[in-house]
A = this chain, B = another copy of it.
């Protein structure tokens, strides 16, 4: 049942066949990501998900609650994609690291691509926003992403793995920002190659 975790907007199952809670979450996810979180009101989410207001507030006690759930949902989607790419059969340890950039292809190709949902979340819900749940969801994503890349790099036995992890993470997040402003898919290949050079450089200097 990985259907819910698809990145692509198109769904096999029509929206109104889903349970109300999933309908709300999916509608909110689309709207929050396409527009921004603060510019999408509860009323619109309710209208477009075809749900009554009380039903909404039964499933999500507050908008902040929905936002945090949306971010955890998006996190699951992204790690699903990352896993799919990095766990392909026949990849060498080094290629598995580079595969995180392959995972960007599908999102970047989607016309609904609007950058990294978590960077966008940070932009709207910084430290002064007083939304601890939202902040926590964002921080959890970045921590998990860091650990994910670190675990991919670990088998390479680099001399300064933490440094390379930060470099890969920067290339990854940077791809998402730059791609958003230029819409040039070449960024993926360029940064995968950059990562390869950095990794091989780290391996060489660690020998």
Contacts and interface: CB of A to CB of B under 8 A. Distances in A.
Interface of A: 34-36, 38-39, 114-116, 119-120, 122-126, 128-129, 138-139, 142, 146, 163, 166-167, 169-175, 177-178, 180-182, 184, 186-187, 190-191, 193-194, 197-198, 201
Contact of A124 (B123, B142, B169, B172): B123
Q: How many copies does the complex hold?
A: 2
Nearest to A172: B174
B167 A170 contact: no
Given A170-B178, A174-B177, 7 more contacts: A36-B124, A115-B122, A138-B181, A139-B181, A166-B186, A170-B170, A171-B171
Contacts of A116: 177
Contacts of A122: 115, 177, 180-181
A34 B128 contact: yes
Contacts of A198: 194, 197-198
Contacts of A186: 163, 166
Contact of A191 (B114, B170, B197): B170
Contacts of A181: 122, 138-139, 142
B171 A190 contact: no
A129 B35 contact: yes
A170 B142 contact: no
Contacts of A139: 181
